[in-house]
């Protein structure tokens, strides 16, 4: 006789692992092939948002650590920004925690947008402040302006664009009830 609980559990595990491996692969592979922040940024942020909503906080945090390391090793981030990598990772985790906390509070589409906007704001602010401090300490003035531009408004824009992309994907799979 078929044990339906066991069959359902195996389906869930296979589905979860498939999503986890797919999102992880995309987070790792994308920075190697696309070296444009305005393209890679929204996709990576969409991956982070999708991973927290579909897989949970732990998996999303693990996935959040990957893009920064890959971006640095692939040349998307200049080597002079290596000291900023831990702060970029923390900013990704901030985004994940805020989106998760607000959406899980009221799992409705309106709370998705509230979580996204607050998460984007907190991520961009944290990244702007931390990289501004690092830039003042470690980088010459000429490069500092470019770094602050890259880690300020551009981050806010890429998170919001990524949130829109994630929303379109979630809508297409009828994630929101």
Closest CA to 54 of 30, 25, 23: 23
112-135: pLDDT as tens digits? 999 999 999 999 999 989 888 877
What's the chain's average pLDDT? 86
At residue 61, the pLDDT reads 97
User: Is the separation of the CB atoms in 94 and 115 below 8 Å?
Assistant: no
- For the chain, the domains span 4-172
14-23: pLDDT as tens digits? 889 999 999 9
At residue 132, the pLDDT reads 80
At residue 117, the pLDDT reads 97
Which pTM value belongs to this model?
0.85
Helix (H, G, I), strand (E, B) or coil at 177: coil
User: Is the separation of the CB atoms in 105 and 111 below 8 Å?
Assistant: yes
At residue 147, the pLDDT reads 63
- Average pLDDT rounded to a whole number, residues 20-42: 88
Residues 6+ apart with CB under 8 A from 156: 120, 121, 123, 124
Map tokens 């959040």 to a residue: 64
Q: What is the CATH number of domain 4-172?
A: 1.10.1760.20
Local confidence band at 160 (pLDDT 50, 70, 90 cut-offs): very high
Tell me the CA distances in angstroms from 156 to 5, 124, 152, 161, one per residue in order: 44, 5, 7, 9
What is the C-alpha to C-alpha distance for residues 88 and 175, in angstroms, rounded to an integer? 28
């Amino acid at each position: 006789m078929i044990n339906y609980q066991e069959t359902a559990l195996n389906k869930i595990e296979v589905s979860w692992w498939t999503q986890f491996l797919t999102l992880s692969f995309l987070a790792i592979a994308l920075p190697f092939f696309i070296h444009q922040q305005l393209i890679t940024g929204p996709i990576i942020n969409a991956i982070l948002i999708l991973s927290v909503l579909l897989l949970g906080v732990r998996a999303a945090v693990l996935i959040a650590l990957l893009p920064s390391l890959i971006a640095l090793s692939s040349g998307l981030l200049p080597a002079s920004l290596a000291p900023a990598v831990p702060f970029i990772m923390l900013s990704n985790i901030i985004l994940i925690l805020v989106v998760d906390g607000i959406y899980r509070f009221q799992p409705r589409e309106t709370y998705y947008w509230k979580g996204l906007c607050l998460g984007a704001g907190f991520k961009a602010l944290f990244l702007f402040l931390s990289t501004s401090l690092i830039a003042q300490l470690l980088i010459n003035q000429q490069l500092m302006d470019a770094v602050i531009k890259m880690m300020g408004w551009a981050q806010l824009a890429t998170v919001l664009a990524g949130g829109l992309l994630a929303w379109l994907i979630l809508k297409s799979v009828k994630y929101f009830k």
